[in-house]
Structure 1
Amino acid sequence: MRRGRIDYRMQRRAVLAEVRSGVRSVGDACDAHPDLVRAATHVGAPAREPCPLCGEDDLRLVTYVFDRKAPANRGGRAVPRESLARQHERYGDLTVYTVEVCTACHWHHLVESFQLVTRDTAVG
């Protein structure tokens, strides 16, 4: 069950507006870490739209999962989106992040986050 989804589209629009108005440089917005670009190339899924900055069709969606029981200093792992159910079965409750990454210009932005839990523990 998915819980607590956060959508970062408003923040994305604000960053893009800052770049277009010159408040933020393109270089500042297109500074994806090489490991993130590599994950986008090998594990990411094609996005439905082109890159919002360079217009190329190289925009990819990378899904990262973090085991909620693991120590805080242990990093997450990039996984194919279609493997989320298998990851949940194997590792239990997960925190999931989706990042869009352009492999051409290195634009990147967090798209969404949510928790994948076995059952809803919320009262109400």
Structure 2
Amino acid sequence: MAIRLDRPVTVRRSGSTDSVNTWARVEDAGTFEETSGDSVYGVSQREFTVRFIPFLTALGATDGEVGAFDISKLEIVFEGHVYTATNLVELERRRYHRITAGRRLYYRFIGSG
């Protein structure tokens, strides 16, 4: 299953071919966006997009130049808790009201390189 990507953000690759990692912040209601940063280990930045509500609730196909990111490989770390495809609904139900503008999330795709 792939994730629908709707909003531009920039991802910094960690230098490893098996993960894509970035810090992200909530930009406004329903979206989050990566903080600014340069590429690391000489790996150029890749752009992709994501919208927060559809990303949690209505998973769909990827498009554009992004490529297919497998939702089963996605992890979100928020307030010390790790959320995966199996418990994203829990994140939405229990924690969405606490994710406000300026809050930082960490999300990563494992094995998507």
Structure (1/2) with the larger strand percentage: 2
- Structure scoring higher RCO (CA < 8 A, sep ≥ 6) equals 2
Q: Which has the larger helix fraction?
A: 1
Could you state the TM-score of these two structures normalised by the residue count of structure 1? 0.29
Higher Rg of the two aligned structures: 1
